[in-house]
Structure 1
Amino acid sequence: MTDSVYPKRTPELSRRRRELVPETAAAFEAFSAQVFKAGELDEKTKQLIAVAVAHVTQCPYCIDGHTKLASRKGASDEEIMEAIWVAAEMRAGGAFAHSVVALNALDSIHSHTHA
């Protein structure tokens, strides 16, 4: 990530973040380790989910980190790209699905102006 508005992740920034609120940082790290540990879903699948979610939340740090982790856990480039396409569809699908709110608002306006 060069020429970005986002600061580069550095060991110093990571250390400072942990030092400012160490108990919370430790709890988050433990939570993260638990979440990504193999369970009913294997680690590769969990990382592919994380890649998709990272694209929906649009976190460049998560996209970078979880894409690398997914690859290290055995995900192919094709699997990673498919996960990204799933994220794209879900994000677009959310906008499409919420169109019923707009249509309902229009119906309410039209029903009041025609009554």
Structure 2
Amino acid sequence: MTDPRVPDGGRPLVARLAYPVRRALAPAALELAEQVHRLNDEVGRLRDDAERLRARAEDAERRLAEQEERAAELRNGLFESRRLSLRIAELADVVTELVLPLHDREIDPAALRRLRPDTV
């Protein structure tokens, strides 16, 4: 076996054999290095875009949760409003029966019993 450090023109054997390969592949390697650099830049931009989209998605989820809470409050308010409207209608019926002249009254005891205790 030959010693790669044997001076043949002052260069080791490996360097002498690698030189023609490097000359043939150097333009392709430089082009690939440039492509790698461009791809790294694109990956960086894509990561930035993904982070921005992630932040927007988190913000949208937070706003959706707030809207769901608000909708629940409004729904509860609507139910309370309906309950109070029914109570006002019941009270209006009672007042109407009390205000009518005595000869026009037809107070139904069963109707009075159907009223809730807090309206009588």
- Normalization by structure 1: what TM-score? 0.33
Q: Which has the larger radius of gyration?
A: 2
Instruction: Flag the structure with more relative contact order, 1 or 2, with Cα contacts below 8 A and sequence separation at least 6.
Output: 1
Higher helix share: 2
- Normalization by structure 2: what TM-score? 0.31
